[in-house]
Amino acid sequence: MGQPMIKKPLELYIHVPFCIRKCNYCDFLSAPAKEETMAAYVLSLCEEIKSYECLQDTYEVCTVFFGGGTPSILTGQDIEKIMNEIKKAFALSGAFSHVEVTMECNPGTLTMEKLATYKKCGINRLSIGLQTTNAKELVILGRIHTYEEFLESYQLARKMGFSNINIDLMSAIPEQTMESYSDTLEKVIALEPEHISAYSLILEEGTCLYEQYKQGDLAGWKLPSEEEERAMYDETGRKLQKAGYERYEISNYAKQGYECRHNIGYWKRIDYLGLGLGASSLLSNVRFQNESDLTVYMKQWSVYGALLQKEVDVLSEKEQMEEFMFLGLRLTKGIQIAEFEVIFHKSFDSVYGKIVEQLLAKKLLIREKERIYLSSYGRDISNQVLAEFLF
């Protein structure tokens, strides 16, 4: 008998495009919706999941990530329905308990019943959007919750036995000061979450805050200066490192053993399948995106009898190498030269030697035996450094 075929790892991303109210900074594909719309969407999503049963022979799922929007806005029964379809449609990496399954949630949308259902159907990691503990800053961001409501949700999750929780934080918020940001960091560290994601606010085109900023009207609110933003970034690293969190990616920190496997998969270019409205996928170096019109997405099975996809793009070898570099260098450990050469059958130095030499000379990169990673200064201006590998 022949050897069984080794299956490739696959990450699943489940997009839930609904929220109670769109935040002022949000540019994600999400909006409020009625209960019947959300229920109909779940049925369409389950049909899409079923359509990928053909991948069972090639792939095994290693991580699942519910993102949005606010996935926790769905009922526990809806989440259980989606999880059951995933278990039926896909081969899993060992027992389901070995698969990292993350649920993004917002304070005020969690209940004891929902959390009990999450545990029952295999969700083992929560990512709770806090952003800031400061009441004024929460209002500016348009968040639906108070810090006290966040604490209630966090403590309820702990009570229900969740032992792997991420908290999302944001810096460079209008009116935020070094003092208020430091206070947020200290309060969150005291809660001892396993993982902390800390991002700077980016005013994305089309968002409420961007339009106010463009018109010169942030309601009298003042954005922190570049120097203040940099000080907040440095403070994040200092405080979290002192508290036992290791920075494993530019904006992500974790206690040992609690790095987000799903996110690491993105940086390492593991194949991923996006399910749901507008979700993006990368399978065997082919990128594609789902239909992004909600009405069309929910009618695609009944009207068209097929999954509608767009923007199908077969990546060239050059594009694959570029992604290997600018995604891999986001990780603190950087990239392995030997891995590059095994994947692309090319000498690393023949492709990127000159660029790497220039960046080493500017002390933006560090080359250590067979590994290359961003220096501390390189992380500070990572976007500029990573852009050097796009040619």
Taking the CA atoms of 188, 191, 192 and 193 in sequence, report the sign of the dihedral they define: negative
Flag the least confident range among 207-221, 303-317, 318-332.
207-221
**Average pLDDT of 40-58?**
94
Taking the CA atoms of 88, 91, 97 and 103 in sequence, report the sign of the dihedral they define: negative
d(CA 235, CA 169): 13
pLDDT of residue 92: 83
pLDDT of residue 112: 97
pLDDT class of 27 with cuts at 50, 70, 90: low
Strand partners, 131: 169
pLDDT of residue 219: 60
Decide: residue 361, CB within 10 A, 0-12 exposed, 13-18 middle, 19+ buried: exposed
Flag the least confident range among 4-13, 234-243, 322-331, 335-344.
4-13
- φ, ψ of residue 110 to 5 degrees: the values are -100, 140
d(CA 338, CA 371): 8
pLDDT digits (tens, 9 = 90+) for 266-298: 999 999 999 999 999 999 999 999 999 999 999
d(CA 95, CA 100): 11
Q: From the CB of residue 62, how many other CB atoms can be counted at a distance below 10 Å?
A: 21
Instruction: Round to the nearest angstrom and report the end-to-end CA distance of the chain.
Output: 48
Q: What is the pTM of this model?
A: 0.93
d(CA 95, CA 19): 32
**Average pLDDT of 337-357?**
96
pLDDT of residue 216: 63
Question: For residues 335 and 328, is the Cβ–Cβ distance under 8 A?
Answer: yes
Question: For residues 25 and 209, is the Cβ–Cβ distance under 8 A?
Answer: yes
Residue 98 DSSP label: G
Within 194-312, residue ranges assigned H as helices are 208-214, 226-242, 261-267, 294-299
Which comes out higher in pLDDT, residue 310 or 83? Answer: 83
d(CA 284, CA 270): 9
Q: What percent of the chain has pLDDT over 70?
A: 93
pLDDT class of 369 with cuts at 50, 70, 90: confident
Look over the chain and give the mean of its residue pLDDT values, rounded to a whole number: 91
Give me the amino acid identity at 377. Answer: Y
User: For residue 391, what are its two tokens?
Assistant: 């040619």
pLDDT class of 94 with cuts at 50, 70, 90: low
pLDDT class of 217 with cuts at 50, 70, 90: low
Whether residue 213 has pLDDT greater than 70: no
Which of 164, 186, 112, 106 minimizes the C-alpha distance to 138? 106
Architecture of domain 8-267 in this structure = Alpha-Beta Barrel (3.20)
Question: For residues 82 and 46, is the Cβ–Cβ distance under 8 A?
Answer: yes
The CATH 3.20.20.70 portion of the chain extends over 8-267
